[in-house]
Amino acid sequence: MSSILTPSTPRRATVVTLSELAGVAPSTVTRALKGDTRISQKTRDLILGLAKEHGYMPNALARTLSSGKSGLYGLVLGPAENPFYTELLHEATRQAEKLGFRLLIIHAGAGPIEDTTAQALIQYQVDGCIISSAILSSKAADICAQNNVPLVMVNRVALSHGCFVTCDNRAGGAEIARLLIARGRRRFGLVYTTSTSSTSREREEGFVAELEQAGFTLSHRFDGHSNYDGGFEAGREIAGLPADQRPDSVFALSDIMAMGVLDALRLASVDVPGEILVAGFDGVAASARPIYDLTTIQQPLSLMIQRAFELLQARTLDPNLPDELIAMRGKLVVRGSTGRA
Amino acid sequence: MSSILTPSTPRRATVVTLSELAGVAPSTVTRALKGDTRISQKTRDLILGLAKEHGYMPNALARTLSSGKSGLYGLVLGPAENPFYTELLHEATRQAEKLGFRLLIIHAGAGPIEDTTAQALIQYQVDGCIISSAILSSKAADICAQNNVPLVMVNRVALSHGCFVTCDNRAGGAEIARLLIARGRRRFGLVYTTSTSSTSREREEGFVAELEQAGFTLSHRFDGHSNYDGGFEAGREIAGLPADQRPDSVFALSDIMAMGVLDALRLASVDVPGEILVAGFDGVAASARPIYDLTTIQQPLSLMIQRAFELLQARTLDPNLPDELIAMRGKLVVRGSTGRA
DNA sequence: TTGGATTGCGCAAACGTTTGCGCAAAAAAT
DNA sequence: ATTTTTTGCGCAAACGTTTGCGCAATCCAA
């Protein structure tokens, strides 16, 4: 390999090749590019000029070997169908871009995460990891814990290792209950999920506890299977009941299930909010569509992501910081699906 | 740094530390782990045993420095709102996981891609890049071209550098036209987009050319702005026309816009498919929901992704392969929104 | 017994960047 | 004039893995 770039060897400029062009040591080049004032202004200007002229871009991988910081964060996503996760990905990507680092997609969607996939977090020396799926997270979480990689769960409660940033699900569930009670409803339906998800369990717990505190109980439970089709089937089941035996309000534990419920009720000509009030949780953009006009708890996604990155960055600097467990209040957004009292 | 791992220094096992434990050279360890039969079976077994015992995971970054192959592919995604891109991401992630490499999210959604973001492709030595957004792709495409990084555009036509894998958009547009004509419709509406996207232009061209070939013309054009809200507004505009001046069929250039059209028509009590047939393009999962029952052209997404990875891998092995420009026929999926003749 | 072939490794440098340590020249203080 | 301090760098090793080249011991054929 020639030591100076020539037209016939379109190899990228490196610190070494720039040092040869400038007649200085590679460490001088590195220091000049970093603005180290121990290198004279004249030398710094020379090196910066050459770097620009030759289109120098640092090799992030070599840099990581030396410095120990990769500028990469791993991301484990939840199911494709739920737009909440799509919005989470886009917001995380947008904020990462602004902060100058990159996201390595470790896993997306359903199905088990493979050992080799979780191991990629360590192999690529990610500076931290954001996980947004409960079922899939345990392998990734374990491997992060074993290797001292900072970990933040977003929209999930971490059971052992790592920080989390969630919406205050219980408070949100309670808030929906209060709204439905205030609207005069008395037969409360829940579209739930049997997933082991802490998120769903807490939302349900918050909802049920608030009902009980007001002297009411759940009248119906429908398994919504965490997805649109499950919500739709729940809606069909509700519509299939005699009118006087249906719930007069329904809380679906996520917007995607609520949207399924609403579509099924619409196709069955069940009047929302006249006959049944419907509420969801998450606050995805689609919940605002006129066809849904869905009352929901809006998770503060942008702030949750921002806080997640802050937690990760703080723990990159100081690996011994204690875990932080942050719950943020969601905002009740009242729309047409629960009437506009 | 001590040369042998001790409990107090929870540092990862490396080739060097394993070599010290085994009493062999680091190059022997590397070769043993790769199954090189020049290393004796006895030695290979010893090293593999130590690697397992110490939880050895190769450092992908160091490996890349040596071998030149990172096992990373860059991914540039389109807008969050269009579930087609979410499905593309999930499918790409799933296939990458199966093939044993990782996706670096370079950009997602709207807004300009920053120079530093595009440069990340080079800095992290990605083995290739998949781009699925037209407007955002030019910077990433340029930087790949300048640095000899294989590039595949999925669902976009590449203008200069790189391969592409698209759906045959013209044929798909033509197929929708034939269906609407066969259903006896004569006033053809188009929900288009002014985006510079080749995808949209080709779908429109295919549709219009087929109409003209049958002696018909477009009667209405509505700007759907590439998104749900635009489609919805187009639907409202259609619904706001006197019944005898509306199109009797509508082709939206993407499913997300078609879904907006359908929702608006439904809220305006315009009967689909009785009064107006509606068709879309992409074949996203949501198009099959009973509430939409949308006729569409189903892009063969899984195969497109598979082919994209094949193109990239082939060009990793042989950078001088000529670009391949692949168009795959979509499949017409006839559903209730165009009637079930 | 000897020479050639095979086997089973190791050496050393490289990939690209970083940084602790320290040197030599110049400048400043005494 | 001498000593001390400051300035402006460079040396060298490291980060972890890979691989071309080649050596020494063993085996086999003549």
- The pLDDT score that the predictor gives to residue B117 is 86
CA A225-A226-A227 angle, 5° bins: 90
Q: Do A148 and B70 touch (CB under 8 A)?
A: no
In eight-state DSSP terms, residue A112 is: P
Q: Is the pLDDT of residue B277 over 50?
A: yes
Q: Which own/partner pairs from A45-53 qualify as long-range (CB within 8 Å, at least 24 positions apart)?
A: A46/A22, A47/A18, A47/A22, A50/A18, A50/A21, A50/A22, A51/A13, A51/A18
Look at B280 and B81; give whichever has higher pLDDT.
B280
Cβ of B52 near strand D (distance < 7 A) = no
For residue B155, give Cα distances in angstroms to B5, B72, B181: 50, 21, 27
Q: Do A62 and B65 touch (CB under 8 A)?
A: yes
Q: Which of B81, B117, B290 sits opposite A97 (nearest CB)?
A: B117
Q: Is the pLDDT of residue A6 over 60?
A: no
Of A254, A187, A202, the C-alpha closest to A227 is: A254
Cβ of B58 near strand D (distance < 7 A) = yes
A30 CA from C27 C1′ (Å): 27
Q: Is the pLDDT of residue A58 over 90?
A: yes
Average pLDDT in chain B: 91
Cβ of B329 near strand D (distance < 7 A) = no
Handedness of CA B13, B14, B20, B24 (dihedral sign): positive
Helix (H) or strand (E) holding B260: helix B255-267
DSSP string, B120-172: HHHHTT-SEEEE--HHHHHHHHHHHHHTT--EEEESS--SSSSEEEEE-HHHH
| Chain B residues near residue A100 by CB distance under 8 angstroms | 116
Q: What whole-number distance in Å separates Cα of residue A333 and Cα of residue A316?
A: 36
Of B233, B14, B275, B97, the C-alpha closest to A115 is: B97
Sole residue written with tokens 């200085």: A24
B12-42 pLDDT, tens digit each: 899 999 999 999 999 999 999 999 999 999 9
Distance of CA A52 to the CA centre of its chain: 37
Distance from CA of B208 to the nearest CA of A (A): 31
Cβ of B26 near strand C (distance < 7 A) = yes
ipTM value, please give it: 0.89
- The pLDDT score that the predictor gives to residue B3 is 36
- The pLDDT score that the predictor gives to residue B197 is 79
Q: Is the pLDDT of residue A50 over 60?
A: yes
Q: Is the pLDDT of residue B308 over 60?
A: yes
Q: What whole-number distance in Å separates Cα of residue B260 and Cα of residue A245?
A: 34
Q: Of B93, B262, B287, which to mutate for an interface test with A (greatest number of A Cβ within 10 Å)?
A: B93
Average pLDDT in chain A: 91
Domains, chain B: 15-58 (no CATH), 67-167+301-329 (3.40.50.2300), 169-299+332-338 (3.40.50.2300)
Q: Is the pLDDT of residue A40 over 80?
A: yes
Tell which strand C nucleotides have any atom below 7 Å from a protein Cβ.
7-20
What number is the average pLDDT over the span B103-120? 84
- The pLDDT score that the predictor gives to residue A137 is 66
| Beta pairing partners, B11 | none
Q: Which nucleotide is nearest to A66 (CA to C1')?
A: D15
What number is the average pLDDT over the span A139-156? 87
Q: Is the pLDDT of residue B86 over 70?
A: yes
- The pLDDT score that the predictor gives to residue A341 is 58
Give alpha helix (H) positions in B166-254: 169-182, 198-213, 228-239
Rg (CA), chain A: 26
A10-26 pLDDT, tens digit each: 578 999 999 999 999 99
Q: Which nucleotide is nearest to B19 (CA to C1')?
A: C10
Of B284, B231, B267, the C-alpha closest to B90 is: B284
- Are A131 and A143 spatial neighbours (Cβ–Cβ below 8 Å)? no
A67-107 pLDDT, tens digit each: 999 999 999 988 888 999 999 999 999 999 999 889 999 88
- In a 13 Å sphere around the CA of A237, the CA atoms on its Cβ side amount to 17
Q: Is the pLDDT of residue B6 over 70?
A: no
- Are B180 and B251 spatial neighbours (Cβ–Cβ below 8 Å)? yes
Which of A136-140, A264-268, B148-152 shows the lowest mean pLDDT across its residues? A136-140
The pLDDT > 90 percentage for chain A reads 77
Contacts of B304 by beta carbon, 8 Å cutoff, 6+ apart: B154, B155, B165, B166, B167, B328
Chain A residue with CA closest to B11: the answer is A147
Distance from CA of B69 to the nearest CA of A (A): 11
Q: Do B146 and A59 touch (CB under 8 A)?
A: no
Q: Is the pLDDT of residue A135 over 90?
A: no
B162-198 pLDDT, tens digit each: 899 999 999 999 999 999 999 999 999 999 998 777 8
What number is the average pLDDT over the span B266-271? 97
- The pLDDT score that the predictor gives to residue A317 is 84
Amino acid at A328: M
Which of A117-121, A260-264, B158-162, B189-193 shows the lowest mean pLDDT across its residues? B158-162
Q: Do B83 and A87 touch (CB under 8 A)?
A: no
Q: Do A263 and B94 touch (CB under 8 A)?
A: no
Which of A263-267, A276-280, B107-111, B273-277 shows the lowest mean pLDDT across its residues? B107-111
Q: Is the pLDDT of residue B107 over 90?
A: no
Q: Do B93 and A87 touch (CB under 8 A)?
A: no
Cβ of B40 near strand D (distance < 7 A) = no
What number is the average pLDDT over the span A173-179? 98
A 10 A CB-CB count for A177 gives 25
Q: Is the pLDDT of residue B237 over 70?
A: yes
Q: Do A291 and B12 touch (CB under 8 A)?
A: no
Point out the residue nearest to D14 (C-alpha to C1'). A66
